[in-house]
Amino acid sequence: MTQAEWQAEQFETNRSHLREVARRMLGSAAEAEDAVQEAWLRVSRSDTAAVQNMRGWLTTIVSRICLDMLRARQARREDLIEAWPPAPLRIVENEDAGPEEATMLADSVGLAMLVVLETLSPLERLAFVLHDMFGMPFEEIAPIVERSVTATRQLASRARRRVRGAPDPRPQSLAHQRRVVQAFLAASREGDFEALLTVLDPDVLFRGRSGPGGPSVPEELHGADQVARLVLAQGTPRAPFGRPAVVNGRPGAVVTIDGRDQAVVMFTIVGDRVIVMDLLVDFEGLPTVRV
């Protein structure tokens, strides 16, 4: 058997494993197939005579391809940032939201796991998938993510905390998420830093946008400490005017002062904590539908 024939045989033997690794990392069967095909192109051009663990070597190749794809996806998402938020804004303020809003929120809780994976950084996602789902040692993952073994363990640990917090859909999810929003608003009104930290996930992602002439808000912040300080510095004066609402199918709040909507916030909630917070300030001109 020639080396090329042996490579092809080994690749086919491991194809299903490689496809599953890529699918878990990318969340898409089509993208996973593309990653596996790219891996074969690289393998076919490589000298594998010195490779002792073919399965591990192939997994490393596919992982690096997936890492590049995740980074490219993240860059595309950043390029599209100007399109956020989607218009029109659909705001539901009544406490007993209609069946459409309740269904949308229930679906969002059911997709919590997907939401969590999408908020992980590419390196966190890769470390978590390879170690927790496929049992790959950190010593083998570290060179792929170009981190020390200790740092790689930390990447997987952060991802694990967030994934384990993802709940299953519950009939009371609408009321439960509203209570989390109310707790956030209460902590904001009272300027209670510690209370905010209990509502915000340690790795919470904040994204902010301000309309023309509006106050300056950060486009992106990470971490409960930074986000809580921002809320206390800029949000506390407006918090007394905030009311829970469903905004574009997500739990959130709307701030109305002197009859004018000045800000809306949309949350992604996992368990009892906010993992993503989207703030829009001074959005005059954006089509709004109030229900």
Model confidence pLDDT, tens digit, residues 84-95? 555 566 777 765
pTM: 0.52
Nearest Cα neighbor of 277 from 215, 240, 217, 227 is: 227
For the stretch 66-86, pLDDT in tens is 999 988 876 655 444 444 555
* pLDDT given for residue 117 in this prediction: 67
Q: Would you identify the CATH topology of the domain 3-79?
A: Rna Polymerase Sigma Factor; Chain: A (1.10.1740)
Q: What is the pLDDT of residues 205-216, one digit of tens each?
A: 898 887 766 677
- Of 286, 190, 193, 203, the closest CA to residue 242 belongs to 190
Nearest 10 degrees: Cα torsion 97, 100, 103, 105? -60
Name the fold adopted by 173-290: Nuclear Transport Factor 2; Chain: A, (3.10.450)
Domains of the chain, residue spans: 3-79, 173-290
Q: Please give the helix or strand (H or E) that residue 33 lies within, else none.
A: helix 29-44
